[in-house]
Chain A
Amino acid sequence: GDSVTQMEGPVTLSEEAFLTINCTYTATGYPSLFWYVQYPGEGLQLLLKATKADDKGSNKGFEATYRKETTSFHLEKGSVQVSDSAVYFCALGGRQGGKLIFGQGTELSVKP
């Protein structure tokens, strides 16, 4: 069945460091791919998305490219800030009923 695998957390970085959070997926067909962010005590917010191969989603300095050949959708940011500290979820969509398949989440902690 469909699945999403994210790198284990927590990830701890210093401010202005480069961020990569790996995400790979297994799916039939051509799913849409998403990154969500969850700040402490809040619901999830859509961070970026890509709907077809080679699409690059971007928002707030974050980027991710839909790589069909490697079935990956890694999240990157060139210079993280303390305010980026949150849990990041990779998700796969386009399933029956509009369901999303989520990865287990990766906690990011950015230190000043």
Chain B
Amino acid sequence: SQTIHQWPATLVQPVGSPLSLECTVEGTSNPNLYWYRQAAGRGLQLLFYSVGIGQISSEVPQNLSASRPQDRQFILSSKKLLLSDSGFYLCAWSVGGPNEQFFGPGTRLTVL
């Protein structure tokens, strides 16, 4: 069966520090991968998606970036965090079918 992992689960970082969040999927090949952000009490905002290794599409301009160095690995990064980067970051995957997505457990990021 397929599983999706995210780490770390929680993170507290100072403003201006770098960020690296990792997402890995097991049990499937060539998935589409997605990064979302969910601010407190708000809906989901799609940040990036990837349909293959090295292929990244950005949905909103910001100081975050994403990379996909391996088929089932998706990384969200920032060189310098802003207070507004605080939130709950969710990774998801999909493959074929009617495009349902399956979500990881999330990373709660607090920028102080």
Taking Cβ atoms with an 8 Å cutoff, the residues of A that contact B are: 32, 34, 36, 41-46, 49, 51, 89, 93-95, 97-100, 102-105
Q: B105 contacts A98, CB within 8 Å?
A: no
- Whole-angstrom distance between the alpha carbons of A95 and B94 in the complex? 12
Query: B8-33 vs A: 1/0 string, CB under 8 Å?
Result: 00000000000000000000000010
Q: From known contacts A32-B99, A51-B98, A102-B43, infer whether A97 and B51 are also in contact, taking CB-CB under 8 Å.
A: yes
Q: From known contacts A43-B104, A43-B105, A43-B106, infer whether A95 and B99 are also in contact, taking CB-CB under 8 Å.
A: yes
- By the criterion of a CB under 8 Å from any partner CB, how many residues of chain B are at the interface? 23
| Nearest chain B CB to A62 CB, angstrom units | 15
- Whole-angstrom distance between the alpha carbons of A88 and B98 in the complex? 20
Q: A44 contacts B43, CB within 8 Å?
A: no
Chain A residues within 8 Å of B104, by CB: 43
The A-contacting residues of B in range 82-112, CB under 8 angstroms, are 90, 92, 94-95, 98-106, 108
Chief secondary structure at chain A's binding surface:
loop
Taking Cβ atoms with an 8 Å cutoff, the residues of B that contact A are: 32, 34, 42-44, 46, 49, 51, 57, 90, 92, 94-95, 98-106, 108
Q: A103 contacts B43, CB within 8 Å?
A: yes
Q: A32 contacts B98, CB within 8 Å?
A: yes
Q: A93 contacts B49, CB within 8 Å?
A: no
Chain A residues within 8 Å of B105, by CB: 42-43
Q: From known contacts A44-B90, A98-B49, A98-B94, infer whether A89 and B43 are also in contact, taking CB-CB under 8 Å.
A: yes
- Whole-angstrom distance between the alpha carbons of A102 and B59 in the complex? 14
Q: CB within 8 A of A42: which of B32, B43, B101, B106?
A: B106
Q: From known contacts A43-B90, A44-B90, infer whether A100 and B106 are also in contact, taking CB-CB under 8 Å.
A: no
Q: Would you give 12 A-B contacts (Cβ < 8 Å), ordered by A?
A: A32-B98, A43-B92, A49-B100, A51-B98, A93-B98, A93-B99, A93-B101, A94-B98, A95-B99, A97-B51, A102-B44, A104-B43
